[in-house]
Structure 1
Amino acid sequence: MIAGVSSSELLELAVLLLGTGAAAGFLAGIFGIGGGAILVPVLYECFRIAGVPLDARMPLCVGTSLAIIIPTSIRSWRAHQARGSVDLDILKRWAIPVLVGVIAGSVIARYAPERLFKFVFVAVAWSAAARLLFGREDWRLGKDFPTGFFMRVYGTIIGLLSTLMGIGGGLFANLVMTLYGRPIHQAIGTSAGLAVLISIPGALGYIYAGWPAAARFPEVAALQLPFALGYISLIGAILVMPTSLLVAPLGVKVAHLLSKRQLEVAFGLYLVTVSMRFVISLTTGY
């Protein structure tokens, strides 16, 4: 048993994690986001209940999220690809720059204060939400993607910020692709493929980043979170993965039933809602 946590609280945590997996899988299918944008805020509450120290809590959420979305993003990507909504050319052009960004994010995660993760999550989520809720059709960065240097910069930024947020890159890829005139359904499908490129090396990076955590927070390794591997909670991953895998294809079906504007508004409202948890934490320290 986790120290300081009763059997009833453990049961509540297990049920919450199973439900989180279902919600994450559904959202991964609808928005191509890998589910990380819902996993991180909910995992934060789970680990708070379990007594994880504040300094370790946020990176543990991010690392666990990246591990969880590996199978979810693979299944979501394959479902979107079957519907012809994945731009493989963009995935190939972003593959190496994204990996560079993921490596940089993993190194930063090893040394960064926990508040940095919250600032990144809120800033990016609200920026994407503003574009989705208030953007107009004539908001464009160009008629088509740039080539060469600027395309690599986009990929590197997507990999870096996604690694610090614990998401699969869908927030950034959706935003960038729609600003270059790509259809929202294609942006979502391509984002699902991007989540595969980010989540696997990102999870490995958080194992590396969290390796010194056992020395700094022995209560995490020995008491509150047994079976943690670096900044990845294996218990959290095992409970969340099954339901997320089962529900992801349902989200894909719903995505293709909704109009472009319905998807944009739903995604924007969702981002504002989930990021408020970290606004509260940043202002109150809770």
Structure 2
Amino acid sequence: MSDMSFVLLFELALLGIGSGFLAGLLGIGGGMVMVPVLTFLLSGLGTAPELAVKMAIATSMSAILFTSMSSVIAHHKRGAVRWSIVMHLAPGIVVGSLVSSLGAFALLKGSWLALFFSVFVIFSATQMFSDKKTASTRAMPGMVGKFSAGSAIGFLSGLVGAGGGFLSVPFMTWCNVAIHNAVATSAALGFPIALANVTGYLLSGQGIAERPESAVGYVWLPGLVVVAAFSVLTAPFGARAAHALPVKKLKRIFACILFLVAAYMFYTGYRGLQA
């Protein structure tokens, strides 16, 4: 795996282009697209299925580390990021992410992570298909509540390799934060989520003998470099297209595709448990 073939390079470039564009167009976390494809590619290269799932999740989160920065800059220029909320949720996010990536992620079998990922995708796809708006019922909780919420968001995000948007946005809108501020603030929260989790993936994967030479910890460097480079380039085009295309219909079409993705990851996890 140290020498990347042209075909593999092309596949990773397509993944970066697609995940970046969809992230900008539909406001989804790139992990839902990247994790299944990276799992498939790594398995095809001879990586053990259990390890392939873990490396796909870690590599996806590493790519989010870069794509989130461009998203945050765009939202900040529009004055939409609630930085006070970011500062209050970030400590819990860091703690939850480190517990997840250094502890639970390393201890759980890749098959269980694949099953958990499939459940997460089904939940996210259902939200996307229904396009249900969360009712604003209360204000943001106190410091303990914010720390607890941040910890839960960071922990769950670390298990599935997602930026946390499908958790943080509903939480903030439920707490009476305007939807455009919630989306922008969620993008800003994606950076500490990714940074803390990637740190954990790099450290917890150091002792894995079966990992490829091109990996650092659980992170697959060729996949990270190519996917991140192309997704950063295409995300702004997706954001522009969102103003011209029927996003609500596209979300429902993509939700149907995600149900198929969930089925694939569920099969991957189930097959691993039976092996």
TM (normalized to structure 1)? 0.84
The two structures, once aligned, show a CA RMSD in angstroms of 2.7
Q: 1:91 to 1:228 in 2, by over 3 A?
A: same
- Residue 226 of structure 1 corresponds to 213
Q: Is the 8 A contact 2:135 2:174 kept in 1?
A: yes
Which of residues 106, 111, 125 is equivalent to 1:110?
106
Report the Cα distance in structure 1 between the residues aligned to 2:243 and 2:59, rounded to whole angstroms: 29
Q: Is the 8 A contact 1:228 1:234 kept in 2?
A: yes
Which of residues 258, 264, 273 is equivalent to 1:277?
264
Q: 1:161 to 1:46 in 2, by over 3 A?
A: same
Residues 1:123 and 2:119 are matched in the alignment: yes
- Residue 253 of structure 1 corresponds to 240
Structure 2: gaps spanning 5 or more residues:
none
Which of residues 174, 182, 202 is equivalent to 1:179?
174
Write out per-residue CA displacement over residues 164-200 of structure 1, whole angstroms, 9 at most, x where no aligned residue.
1111111211232343454443332222111111111
Report the Cα distance in structure 1 between the residues aligned to 2:250 and 2:86, rounded to whole angstroms: 22
Q: Is the 8 A contact 2:112 2:269 kept in 1?
A: no
- Residue 43 of structure 2 corresponds to 48
Sequence identity percentage: 30
Letter in 1 for 2:124: A
Deviation at residue 12 of structure 1 after TM alignment: 2.2
Q: For residues 193-204 of structure 1, what are the structure 2 equivalents within 5 Å?
A: 193-204=188-199
3-state SS of 1:213 partner: coil
Letter in 2 for 1:37: M
- Residue 228 of structure 2 corresponds to 241
Q: For residues 16-165 of structure 1, what are the structure 2 equivalents within 5 Å?
A: 16-106=11-101, 107-134=103-130, 136-137=132-133, 139-140=134-135, 142-165=137-160
Report the Cα distance in structure 1 between the residues aligned to 2:86 and 2:153, rounded to whole angstroms: 12
Deviation at residue 27 of structure 1 after TM alignment: 2.8
- Residue 188 of structure 1 corresponds to 183
Report the Cα distance in structure 2 between the residues aligned to 1:156 and 1:99, rounded to whole angstroms: 7
Q: 1:77 to 1:34 in 2, by over 3 A?
A: farther
3-state SS of 1:280 partner: helix
Deviation at residue 262 of structure 1 after TM alignment: 5.5
Report the Cα distance in structure 1 between the residues aligned to 2:172 and 2:255, rounded to whole angstroms: 16
Report the Cα distance in structure 2 between the residues aligned to 1:152 and 1:255, rounded to whole angstroms: 33
Q: Is the 8 A contact 2:62 2:198 kept in 1?
A: yes
| 40-49 vs 186-195, which moves further | 186-195
Q: Is the 8 A contact 1:33 1:169 kept in 2?
A: no
Deviation at residue 159 of structure 1 after TM alignment: 0.2
Report the Cα distance in structure 2 between the residues aligned to 1:241 and 1:47, rounded to whole angstroms: 17
Q: Is the 8 A contact 1:65 1:167 kept in 2?
A: yes
| 30-39 vs 157-166, which moves further | 30-39
Which of residues 166, 183, 200 is equivalent to 2:161?
166
Report the Cα distance in structure 1 between the residues aligned to 2:121 and 2:33, rounded to whole angstroms: 11
Deviation at residue 135 of structure 1 after TM alignment: 6.2
Report the Cα distance in structure 1 between the residues aligned to 2:271 and 2:13, rounded to whole angstroms: 29
Q: Is the 8 A contact 2:111 2:268 kept in 1?
A: no
Report the Cα distance in structure 1 between the residues aligned to 2:227 and 2:48, rounded to whole angstroms: 22
Letter in 2 for 1:62: I
| 72-81 vs 115-124, which moves further | 115-124
Letter in 2 for 1:104: V
Write out per-residue CA displacement over residues 13-60 of structure 1, whole angstroms, 9 at most, x where no aligned residue.
211101111122223323554522211111011101101012211111
Structure 1: gaps spanning 5 or more residues:
none
Q: Is the 8 A contact 1:33 1:191 kept in 2?
A: no
Give the number of equivalent residue pairs.
272
